[in-house]
Amino acid sequence: MADFKEYISTLNGLKFDKMYQNDFFLTWEKTDDELRAVWTVADALRNLRERNISTKVFDSGLGISLFRDNSTRTRFSFASACNLLGLEVQDLDEKKSQVAHGETVRETANMISFMADIIGIRDDMYIGKGNAYMHEVADAVEAGHKDGILEQRPTLVNLQCDIDHPTQCMADALHVIHEFGGIEKLKGKKLAMSWAYSPSYGKPLSVPQGVIGLFTRLGIDVVLAHPKGYEVMPDVIEVAKKNAAASGSAFSITNDMKEAFKDADVVYPKSWAPFAAMEKRTKLYGDGDQAGIDALEKELLKQNAEHKDWACTEDMMKLTKGGKALYLHCLPADISGVSCKEGEVDGSVFDRYRTPLYKQASFKPYVIAAMILLERFANPAAVLQKLEKRGQERVFRA
Amino acid sequence: MADFKEYISTLNGLKFDKMYQNDFFLTWEKTDDELRAVWTVADALRNLRERNISTKVFDSGLGISLFRDNSTRTRFSFASACNLLGLEVQDLDEKKSQVAHGETVRETANMISFMADIIGIRDDMYIGKGNAYMHEVADAVEAGHKDGILEQRPTLVNLQCDIDHPTQCMADALHVIHEFGGIEKLKGKKLAMSWAYSPSYGKPLSVPQGVIGLFTRLGIDVVLAHPKGYEVMPDVIEVAKKNAAASGSAFSITNDMKEAFKDADVVYPKSWAPFAAMEKRTKLYGDGDQAGIDALEKELLKQNAEHKDWACTEDMMKLTKGGKALYLHCLPADISGVSCKEGEVDGSVFDRYRTPLYKQASFKPYVIAAMILLERFANPAAVLQKLEKRGQERVFRA
Amino acid sequence: MADFKEYISTLNGLKFDKMYQNDFFLTWEKTDDELRAVWTVADALRNLRERNISTKVFDSGLGISLFRDNSTRTRFSFASACNLLGLEVQDLDEKKSQVAHGETVRETANMISFMADIIGIRDDMYIGKGNAYMHEVADAVEAGHKDGILEQRPTLVNLQCDIDHPTQCMADALHVIHEFGGIEKLKGKKLAMSWAYSPSYGKPLSVPQGVIGLFTRLGIDVVLAHPKGYEVMPDVIEVAKKNAAASGSAFSITNDMKEAFKDADVVYPKSWAPFAAMEKRTKLYGDGDQAGIDALEKELLKQNAEHKDWACTEDMMKLTKGGKALYLHCLPADISGVSCKEGEVDGSVFDRYRTPLYKQASFKPYVIAAMILLERFANPAAVLQKLEKRGQERVFRA
């Protein structure tokens, strides 16, 4: 896309000083320049690594990861990013440490942070909880640093919450930017963020919400498509509307998958659970009402099954721009005839896009590393240049 | 407290050569000079880190951690200490590896130690077992090194046993030393190590025992207070008596919390289980007598509930020197109205001391790192000076 | 055995260029020169470490470990090898990530490999599955690298499959080479790979198979001994026959333990499950037939119990060359009167060989590290020489 000097020059033209010593919660809390800084630093780090130049900026220090769900992709992406920069990952396993809320969060956050430079949290299960929990942790270590308890103020990276999945969506966007040849090429393109049928239920809303909240800022016309009853968080709809207005793009919602796919340049068909149902589930969990949860699950599966026609089939793909829209997915996908009988996408469609899909995922470690670098260093451009000049080999050469 | 040169000068005036290639089991097995060396090295390491100077003394090597209970604080402290010095932590998970006693310990200890420089063990559940197990491991690797199996002799750090909790108590003491402005300022001060009510039962004895075994050596008058029936290990009482006699301080036992708190400069109110009950429980576990264990738990909870007045209330704090004694706790505390209905300490008292409490905890990673440095290096003062001279940045500067 | 210059000179006389960017699955897929290169690099790495010279050839990068069984020894050996070379281990825990076969393997293999230099897999439970699974992973990352998804092509080390246990057997062989004073001294020696009674059942076949497949190449006469019904994989028998023919040694099978032990220089008595039974078990697992599995277990335990006389007793040892054969075991052994009532070996025999047994195990981290070095570097001799010249201290000296 660009060479190293261009990345540095791009960075020098951006304003992102408020990212330093700060957290990354939601993409729409960041300015356009700040997002662009993340992509640019990610590309620059990748460029250095490809040239076998070490990007270790920490000689020691911990990267704390806290996953409230099982995770392979994001866990490995976070571990890769930390390793790339020289931080050692230390997992806080809730089953081992019984993290709770309130005072306990404040205490635990400080206790694990004496030598932590970064904290990555994934907490996407309950509406109104995940993002709030991350803020609790951030506030606790901010106070701990001010009170002289923590020598450094560890900053946070949101590895997926109930509202947004910023490391995923920023990686998705960087992939799209690379595929289309630059941010400036995205103006006027059309992206369909569509619900798709899955035989499982309760998939998080953070990806569709993150996508409509982010891509509307890139000048892309975004269509959100889902069957009636599968609405996402109203607040995020407002975000998407405002972002589209600001960037001069369009944002619309439809209950017709075909309409969304028509002439789309990018499609992102993916299952999610209705926001209202997730709110209900959160309440049932809070009440410890297992019978209620079981009943809700049954109901949701039944509701899903009414929309098996919401699938990214070959016929659907034909509707897209030249029949060749870029197909995106955060993976793993429910592939019809492969991982399930009927699912989100046809096996032949998925297969054709396997390489770009895996490339899409490959941006995540670099996006996370870029967020860390921007949060921890006042002058990332100078850091990158000094790394290049130092020229320490990542892999020994003889 | 002091600057880096003073730490070096202090170290040069102490005799601690026997710590090299040796383990750290109990504070009372160490000389006064040796303990002072730990505190001094801990302060020096912190000083270097605060100046962004790397303290990595290992280029590679493993720090093995073996936790027989769940743990967040100590686990992260050990991981932080290892990372600070350049060792990578490798957890030996008993559920994965079925560690047992006897020949198996000898074998496992050698099998995990081929590239280990340090082994940290927490094993505090059963009376007569934890410390003994640590010695088994130490003896095994000592023999393995002598027999030419292990290139290096990994040394041990006791991360809590049935007798002592040396990394906790050494951190507690370093906090007190800092708060009062130096070891020499502690002479004649009064510390109350007091039992306090908790709605849970079976908390380890290692902290109260460690505290009375250590603080009596600092010239501090130590009062151990608990309801009748909550006696600690008789052996440790003897240790405390001897230490007090040797340091010219006083050690006494009372069944009156008020008496202990009266004019105290430092208070450490904390729940623990009676030693006799823990011995009984150990036997019941050994016999696999679950009914007996359940009955004992019920009995102990009932016994605890008779002493709900043993709490660190605002009124109790008023009895202390100027109403302003330094409040200590190893955390987490059972806070009345916060983490439980009635517990060890009033919410308002805990809240007032939150910052010093968290600072108290912040010394633990450095205390552990100091123990490691003293065990692994013949001349720690020279190592510290060379680290300062090398001046490698912990965090890259640009 | 030799000094560092001799290792370099040995390496320079060997042809092993095909190991670069390649995997290590089975020893019999490697040439004699390639195996010799592994042992030589292992010795050279150990030599450097013993001289406190860092062997870190990676500044950053991940070593992925995937264990489908519990494991302490192999897990720590892999972690030690990675640490020795500068890679950080990241465990892929199947319980956390639900690894499966087919498309899922392809996807997961790529998702975890963006910054992986090496992947170590242990999968020995089911006949026809473990080795096949490793090839699936290797093919997936090979394709991922070719398709431009992965910047580097991570290579594999087989940490035990259903067919071979190459890191174990290569460590065993290096131990034997050291004990006898060189590969050239092994010509005409006799090794007995013998079944032995164990009160447990279903122990993997990979060790006996690996041993007869490897030691027959060293000019050693290998006798495989087992009761009727305890046959190993027929394919591996063919491998052993061919290897013996090629190296000018003998390979034979007997149902008489005494015949095998008679005048043996090396004995390896160890329990395993019959190949036919393991095939049957694999099928039962595939069918989800728990009743069938339970019945099979019962039957196998009964069958085992008929052969309690297959034990490495003092009397059996007296039959060996001068009564002093080198006793090998991959550990842990079932020791009569120690870890079980009746087992594979007498307590007194095991005790006499404890030090050499533990030394045998000590070669494994170095063997794994050597495999990694040979897979990742085109010119390992130059790398080793440059490491020596760099002379970076593993442990700081002051």
pLDDT means per 10 residues, chain B with 398 residues, are 88 98 98 98 98 98 89 91 97 61 82 97 90 96 97 97 97 98 96 96 93 97 98 98 97 98 98 94 91 94 96 98 98 93 96 97 98 98 98 96
Structure tokens at C140: 């997936």
Q: How confident is the model over C290-300, as pLDDT tens digits? A: 999 999 999 99
CA distance C69 to C81: 20
Is A398 among the domain residues?
no
**C31 lies in the same domain as C54:** yes
The bridge status of strand A326-327 relative to strand A190-195 is unpaired
**B125 lies in the same domain as B190:** no
Judged by a CB distance cut-off of 8 A, whether residue C200 touches chain B is no
Judged by a CB distance cut-off of 8 A, whether residue C49 touches chain B is yes
Q: Do A102 and B338 touch (CB under 8 A)?
A: yes
Rounded to an integer, the average pLDDT of A114-138 is: 94
Rounded to an integer, the average pLDDT of A315-324 is: 98
Structure tokens at C310: 């297959």
Judged by a CB distance cut-off of 8 A, whether residue C71 touches chain B is yes
Task: For residue B340, give the DSSP letter.
Answer: B
Q: What pLDDT does residue B270 have?
A: 97
Chains contacting C (3 or more CB pairs within 8 Å):
A, B
Residue B47, min C-alpha distance to chain C (Å): 19
Considering only CA atoms, which of C195, C282, C196, C260 is closest in space to residue C231? Answer: C195
Q: What pLDDT does residue C2 have?
A: 63
For chain C, give the percent of residues with pLDDT over 70. Answer: 97
Q: What pLDDT does residue A73 have?
A: 87
Q: Determine how many CB atoms are found less than 10 A away from the CB of residue C241.
A: 16
DSSP-assigned beta bridge partners for residue C123: C161
Q: What pLDDT does residue A94 have?
A: 63
Q: Do A70 and C96 touch (CB under 8 A)?
A: yes
Q: Do A96 and B358 touch (CB under 8 A)?
A: no
Q: Do B96 and C70 touch (CB under 8 A)?
A: yes
Is B395 among the domain residues?
no
Alpha carbon separation from C105 to A20, A78, A277, C111, C362 (Å, rounded)? 39, 21, 33, 10, 33
User: What residue of C is the nearest CA neighbor of A68?
Assistant: C96
Q: How confident is the model over C157-201, as pLDDT tens digits? A: 999 999 999 999 999 999 999 999 999 999 999 999 999 999 988
CATH number at residue B315: 3.40.50.1370
DSSP-assigned beta bridge partners for residue B123: B161
CA distance B47 to A151: 11
User: What residue of B is the nearest CA neighbor of C359?
Assistant: B149
- For CA atoms A23, A28, A31, A33, the dihedral sign is positive
**B100 lies in the same domain as B173:** no
Q: Do A76 and C90 touch (CB under 8 A)?
A: yes
* Phi, psi (deg, nearest 5) at residue C224: -100, 120
Q: What pLDDT does residue B187 have?
A: 95
B353 touches B14 (CB < 8 A): no
Of A72, A362, A394, the CB nearest to C60: A394
Radius of gyration of chain B (CA): 21
Question: What does the H/E/C string look like for chain C?
Answer: CCCHHHHHHHHHCCCCHHHCCCCECCHHHCCHHHHHHHHHHHHHHHHHHHCCECCCCECCCEEEEEECCCCCHHHHHHHHHHHHHCCEEEECCHHHHCCCCCHHHHHHHHHCCCCEEEEEEEECCCCCCHHHHHHHHHHHHHHHHHCCCCCCCCEEEEEEECCCCHHHHHHHHHHHHHHHCCHHHCCCCEEEEEECCCCCCCCCCHHHHHHHHHHHHHCCEEEEECCCCCCCCHHHHHHHHHHHHHHCCCEEEECCHHHHHCCCCEEEEECCCCHHHHHHHHHHHHHCCHHHHHHHHHHHHHHHHCCCCCCECHHHHHCCHHHCCEECCCCCCCEECCCECCCCEEHHHHHHCHHHHHHHHHHHHHHHHHHHHHHHCCCHHHHHHHHHHHCCECECCC
Considering only CA atoms, which of C57, C61, C113, C84 is closest in space to residue A86? Answer: C61
* Phi, psi (deg, nearest 5) at residue C120: -110, 130
Q: Residues with Cβ < 8 Å from B301, sequence gap 6 or more? A: B199, B201
Is B41 among the domain residues?
yes
Residue A128, min C-alpha distance to chain C (Å): 25
| Res. A2 pLDDT band, cuts 50 70 90 | low
pLDDT at A71 over 90: no
Burial A95-124 (b: 16+ CB within 10 A, else e): eebebeeebbbbbbbbbbbbbbbbbbbbbb
Considering only CA atoms, which of C119, C76, C167 is closest in space to residue B62? Answer: C76
Structure tokens at A374: 């921007």
Of A166-175, C101-110, C258-267, least confident by mean pLDDT is: C101-110
pLDDT at C141 over 50: yes
Is C395 among the domain residues?
no
Amino acid at B314: E
Chain B residues lying within 8 Å of A89, measured CB to CB:
none
Amino acid at A30: K
Task: For residue A125, give the DSSP letter.
Answer: S
Half-sphere exposure of C199 (CA within 13 A, CB side): 11
Describe the crossing of helices C4-12 and C32-50 by its angle, rounded to 10 degrees. 160
pLDDT top residue among A387 and B339 = A387
User: What residue of A is the nearest CA neighbor of C64?
Assistant: A76
Q: What pLDDT does residue A96 have?
A: 46
* Phi, psi (deg, nearest 5) at residue B114: -55, -35
**A279 lies in the same domain as A146:** no
pTM: 0.97
**B301 lies in the same domain as B179:** yes
CA distance B390 to B52: 12
**Residue C338 CA, distance from chain mean position:** 26
Q: How confident is the model over C298-341, as pLDDT tens digits? A: 999 999 999 999 999 999 999 999 999 999 999 999 999 998 99
Q: Residues with Cβ < 8 Å from B309, sequence gap 6 or more? A: B197, B257
Mean per-residue pLDDT over chain A, rounded: 95
Q: Determine how many CB atoms are found less than 10 A away from the CB of residue A374.
A: 26
Of B110, B114, B144, the CB nearest to C80: B114
**A132 lies in the same domain as A205:** no
Q: What pLDDT does residue C102 have?
A: 60
Whats the size of chain B, residue-wise?
398
Is A379 among the domain residues?
yes
Half-sphere exposure of B201 (CA within 13 A, CB side): 21
Q: Do C114 and A365 touch (CB under 8 A)?
A: yes
User: What residue of C is the nearest CA neighbor of B388?
Assistant: C398
DSSP-assigned beta bridge partners for residue A223: A192, A252
Structure tokens at C24: 């290590």
pLDDT at C385 over 80: yes
Amino acid at B300: L
**C141 lies in the same domain as C188:** no
CA distance C115 to C134: 19
Q: How many domains does chain C have?
A: 2
Is B284 among the domain residues?
yes
Q: How many CB pairs under 8 A join A and B?
A: 98
Rounded to an integer, the average pLDDT of A337-359 is: 96
Grouping H, G, I as helix, E, B as strand and the rest as coil, residue A161 is strand
Chain B residues lying within 8 Å of C65, measured CB to CB:
none
Is B398 among the domain residues?
no
C335 touches C350 (CB < 8 A): yes
A247: enclosing H helix or E strand = helix A234-247
Q: What pLDDT does residue B97 have?
A: 45
Residue B398, min C-alpha distance to chain A (Å): 5
**C186 lies in the same domain as C335:** yes
CA distance B252 to C357: 53
Q: Determine how many CB atoms are found less than 10 A away from the CB of residue C287.
A: 10
Grouping H, G, I as helix, E, B as strand and the rest as coil, residue B220 is coil
**A303 lies in the same domain as A218:** yes
Domain that residue C188 falls in: 168-359
Chains contacting A (3 or more CB pairs within 8 Å):
B, C
CA distance B211 to B214: 5
Q: What pLDDT does residue C1 have?
A: 47
Judged by a CB distance cut-off of 8 A, whether residue A103 touches chain B is yes
**A318 lies in the same domain as A376:** no
Mutate to test the interface with B, among C362, C368, C392 (most CBs of B within 10 A): C362
**A249 lies in the same domain as A181:** yes
Q: What pLDDT does residue A100 have?
A: 52
CA distance C64 to B236: 47
Rounded to an integer, the average pLDDT of A174-179 is: 98
Judged by a CB distance cut-off of 8 A, whether residue C88 touches chain A is yes
Radius of gyration of chain A (CA): 21
Q: Strand locations in chain B, DSSP E?
A: 62-67, 88-91, 116-123, 155-161, 190-195, 221-225, 251-254, 266-270, 326-327, 335-336, 345-346
Radius of gyration of chain C (CA): 21
Q: How confident is the model over A229-259, as pLDDT tens digits? A: 999 999 999 999 999 999 999 999 999 999 9
C25 touches C134 (CB < 8 A): yes
**B158 lies in the same domain as B208:** no
Chain B residues lying within 8 Å of A11, measured CB to CB:
none
User: What residue of A is the nearest CA neighbor of B363?
Assistant: A114
Residue B117, min C-alpha distance to chain A (Å): 18
Q: What pLDDT does residue C94 have?
A: 63
| Res. A179 pLDDT band, cuts 50 70 90 | very high
Describe the crossing of helices B166-180 and B354-376 by its angle, rounded to 10 degrees. 120
Q: Residues with Cβ < 8 Å from B254, sequence gap 6 or more? A: B223, B224, B225, B260
The bridge status of strand A155-161 relative to strand A116-123 is parallel
Structure tokens at B25: 């089991």
A398 touches C382 (CB < 8 A): yes
Is A396 among the domain residues?
no
